[in-house]
Amino acid sequence: MLDEFGRTIDYLRISVTDRCNLRCIYCMPEEGVDPLSHFDILSYEETLRLARLFSELGITTIRLTGGEPLVRRGIESLAKEIHDLPGITEVGITTNAIALTDKFEGILASGINNINISLDTLNPVKFEKITRRPGLEKVLEAIDLCVENGINTKINCVAMKGVNDEDFLDLVSLAKDKPISVRFIEYMPVGKNDFEKMVPSDEIIKMIEDKYGKMFLDHETHGKGPATYYKIEGFKGTVGFISAMSHCFCDSCNRLRLTAEGYLKLCLQYDIGIDLRKLMRDGKSDEEIKNAILDAVQKKPKQHTFNNYDDAENIEEKGMSKIGG
Ligand code: SAM
Ligand code: SF4
């Protein structure tokens, strides 16, 4: 699929639930969010049907997300069925890893070989402050399990001023002995307008180079996302940066997002898109739904305007847990 600006769209993030076993401060309010009803959430049959239609339109890579995808019962078999669709070359999952060790066998059997784990600190007290729940030990155990089993593992740290900026170097040290990527994501003010917490990637790069010496750009491909990767002398793993705020990468955006209630989102920042659940439940044919998707893709915005928030229209008001990151 090509959009109006000639971008190839081949990557789809599917959110399988809006529920979560954590309450990260950058993603959810302390009290959680009003959960979608069972009826509102796409059934596995509906999700699989859409995954098939998207694969027929040229989507090759699917990432399962949430809320927390591992809290949805039966996620392992859904992952396997998506993995087995012709045209799908890669299925990954983005998880907080609290339930990963318990579900690891099923996840491994599903064919997923690419797991992104959210982790913002190695300090247990701070972990609990950021996620508003205990669980650091479980996350660390799951990371080791992934590494032992040869999974392509990436750590996602949302960098926030005054919250975890003293923890970045500890997190980087995970990549010293383990062949994993530790990635820093610039905090995005999705659903709200608070920029002051954002730490630009360049600041983190300087902090790391001050400690470990010059880093070198890593040109080997590390997946289909917008991250830039660096190598550090003597490290088994790499360090990555997702700099949506300070370095706009919208001109190479390849992705769409499907929310848990079946809304196809065209851009992270805007709420524009199309209600695919309604089309399915209204009895539309595969061809009709595929045509609706193709039409929608032509309306994919050129770029986000996080940096000019006040002038933008159709701004997304949902938090990340309802979008899938
Ligand atoms: N629960 C899973 C997890 O935490 O990995 C998947 C869903 S979470 C919404 C997906 C990704 O979005 C995570 O890597 C998380 O760190 C990131 N994220 C959430 N809120 C964010 C924000 N305000 N800015 C940048 N990234 C954010
Ligand atoms: Fe849950 Fe992931 Fe959001 Fe944290 S970032 S509250 S783990 S959905």
What integer pLDDT is reported at residue 312 of this predicted model?
Answer: 62
User: Cα separation of 123 and 134, whole Å?
Assistant: 11
- The minimum-distance atom of ligand 1 relative to the CA of 157 is 16
Counting ligand 1 atoms within 8 A of each CB, the residue from 25, 156, 163 with the most, and so the one to mutate, is: 156
**Cα torsion through 61, 294, 39, 31, rounded to 10:** 60
Write down the residue that tokens 């305007």 correspond to.
305
Of 64-78, 95-109, 134-148, 291-305, the range with the lowest mean pLDDT is 291-305
Q: What values do phi and psi take at 289, rounded to 5? A: -70, -40
Indicate the pLDDT class of residue 325, thresholds 50, 70 and 90: confident
Instruction: Kindly report the number of other CB atoms within 10 A of residue 279's CB atom.
Output: 18
Distance, CA of 172 to chain centre: 20
59 Cβ below 6 A of ligand 1? no
Contacts with 68 (C-beta within 8 Å, 6 or more apart), sequence order? 17, 19, 20, 21, 22, 95, 96, 98, 99
User: Cα separation of 246 and 78, whole Å?
Assistant: 36
Measured in Å, residue 323 CA sits from the centre of ligand 1 at 9
Q: What values do phi and psi take at 264, rounded to 5? A: -85, 110
139 Cβ below 6 A of ligand 2? no
Q: What is the mean pLDDT of the chain?
A: 93
Nearest bound ligand to the CA of residue 187:
1
- Half-sphere exposure of residue 220: CA atoms within 13 angstroms, side-chain side: 8
3-state secondary structure of 236: coil
| CA-based nearest residue to 195, from 325, 316, 310, 323 | 310
- The minimum-distance atom of ligand 1 relative to the CA of 156 is 14
Q: What would the mean pLDDT of 178-196 be, rounded to a whole number?
A: 84
131 Cβ below 6 A of ligand 1? no
Which helix (H) or strand (E) is 49 found in, with range? helix 44-56
Counting ligand 1 atoms within 8 A of each CB, the residue from 15, 68, 154, 158 with the most, and so the one to mutate, is: 158
pLDDT tens digits, residue range 167-184?
999 999 999 999 999 999
pLDDT tens digits, residue range 96-140?
999 999 999 999 999 998 999 999 999 999 999 999 999 999 999
* Cβ-contact 46, 280 below 8 angstroms: yes
Indicate the pLDDT class of residue 318, thresholds 50, 70 and 90: confident
Nearest bound ligand to the CA of residue 93:
1
3-state secondary structure of 252: helix
Q: In terms of DSSP bridges, do strands 238-242 and 228-231 run parallel, antiparallel, or are they unpaired?
A: antiparallel
Q: What would the mean pLDDT of 305-318 be, rounded to a whole number?
A: 65
The interaxial angle of helices 44-56 and 286-297, nearest 10 deg, is: 60
94 Cβ below 6 A of ligand 1? yes
Which helix (H) or strand (E) is 287 found in, with range? helix 286-297
- The minimum-distance atom of ligand 2 relative to the CA of 66 is 8
Q: What is the largest CA-CA distance in the chain?
A: 60
Distance, CA of 266 to chain centre: 15
Q: Is the pLDDT of residue 309 over 60?
A: no
Q: What is the pTM of this model?
A: 0.95
